[in-house]
Amino acid sequence: MINIALPKGRLGDKVYELFSSIGYDCKSIYEDNRKLVFENKDNGVRYLLIKPSDVAIYVEYGAADIGVVGKDVLLETNPDVYELCDLNLGKCHLCVAAPNDYVENTGTVLRVATKYPNVAKAYYRSKNREIEIIKLNGSIELAPILGLSDVIVDIVETGTTLVENNLKVIEKVAYSSARFIANKSSFKFNEQKINLMVGKINDKNI
Ligand code: PRP
């Protein structure tokens, strides 16, 4: 069996559809229950449903052989895994955003609320801008509305969340999309099988 770490949620659904369409289906995954492991002995796949920010941890430690994770997470956590291909799904940008009427005061330390402290620190270091990180875990857009921070560094996909909260993009920090990753030793032992999957994904993406 090959253990595949899928990010739970919207992206995971799209990734599963892609994998299913190239010969790695597992019908039981559609069962409406709280199970986290689904397997299809016929084609040798076992899907693990994992919180998106934890997928790379499971793959790095070998609990999953392969997985799919956003480039945003890879940039933030820099896991020791192989990044084998871009699935061209879950496309978005990591951006700096602020209230519509925001004007930067360059004389003060910039307060940055984010789920991505490492990405934010590296970005502002490259601009020689002194910042204070306020690490949050969700609903980041609330921080500048309530005066907890000046700006946020967060994912912008459709831009709806920003618009609905009277915020705007100030700068783009990085592009992100779903990446197919592999555990380094699993790749060595299953190179043929994994390369076959990568080939099929790339054919589908053309
Ligand atoms: C992400 C991100 C933004 C939103 C952007 O949040 O943090 O809030 O999606 O998407 P949009 O540009 O299409 O509106 P997520 O849904 O992961 O929830 P969270 O706020 O709990 O992080």
CA of 72 to the centre of ligand 1 (A): 13
The 10s digit of each residue's pLDDT in 54-103 is: 999 999 999 999 999 999 999 999 999 999 999 999 999 999 999 999 99
CA of 95 to the centre of ligand 1 (A): 12
Q: Which atom of ligand 1 is nearest to the CA of 140?
A: 20
Of 86, 113, 94, which Cα lies nearest the Cα of 18?
A: 86
Gap between the Cα atoms of 179 and 24, Å rounded: 17
CA of 160 to the centre of ligand 1 (A): 9
Ligand 1 environment, Cβ below 6 A: 138-141, 154-161
Q: pTM for this structure?
A: 0.95
Beta bridge partners of 131: 110
Q: Which atom of ligand 1 is nearest to the CA of 164?
A: 14
